[in-house]
A = this chain, B = another copy of it.
Amino acid sequence: MQNTDPTTPPIDASRATARRQQILCAAAECFREYGFHAASIAKISSIAGMSPGHIYHYFENKEAIIAAIVAQDLESLMTMTAEFRAAANIRTALIERAAEGVADQLDPVSAGLKLEIVAEAARNPHVGQIVREADATCRRELAITIRDIRRTAGHEDSPAAIDDMVEVLACLFEGLLLRTIRNPGLDHSGVALRIQTAISDLLNQPT
């Protein structure tokens, strides 16, 4: 990856990466504003500050840009999920982090792109695969976290029961993406509190 010759500055790799990121950043902006299909290469290239043709030096085609955006967006979700497992007292950590998670989901700008991605996943097999694989990873992490919390509280659940709880937890978070579009005026802190209580109740459900 690194340039071994000291006489030539480390241009290539880092410059190319920066250029790629520049394109992805512009593409995300266009996708948010117009959607995947109405966002044209011409618009993306103009926002990225380069010619349309040059984009094809960094991405094979438009589909590859979409895939990269999707992967980038999901990566942030996965790191967030992984953070839960690192906490010492997991139950408290989960519920306290929930408020933060709720706030993230309620940002209408990023919510629009996330919804666009899932809608695309429903019909584009390539995007669908990326999304489903990332979701499976997140579910695995969340399942372990919930199992540990329930064990500490004295519940011994079947894996299927844990999976169902993961789904309900996911509904609470992901439902917010739709809510913030359908009702932009909702009370953020009030809803966050109610969701924290709902999560707490969920973790106390009978086996």
Contact = CB atoms under 8 A, between A and B. Distances in A.
A7 interface: no
Interface stretch (A8-16, A42-50, A185-193): A185-193
Contacts of A139: 183
Nearest to A165: B194
Contact of A172 (B111, B132, B172): B172
- Number of this chain's copies in the assembly equals 2
Contact of A168 (B121, B135, B178, B191): B191
A148 interface: no
Contacts of A206: 197
A160 B135 CA distance: 34
A202 interface: yes
Interface residues of A, number: 58
A133 to B, nearest CB: 10
Contact of A131 (B131, B170, B171, B182): B182
B164 A170 contact: no
A201 B84 CA distance: 24
Contacts of A187: 160, 163-164, 167
17 contacts: A34-B123, A35-B37, A35-B123, A37-B37, A115-B115, A115-B119, A118-B178, A131-B182, A163-B186, A164-B186, A168-B191, A170-B179, A170-B182, A171-B195, A175-B175, A198-B202, A201-B202
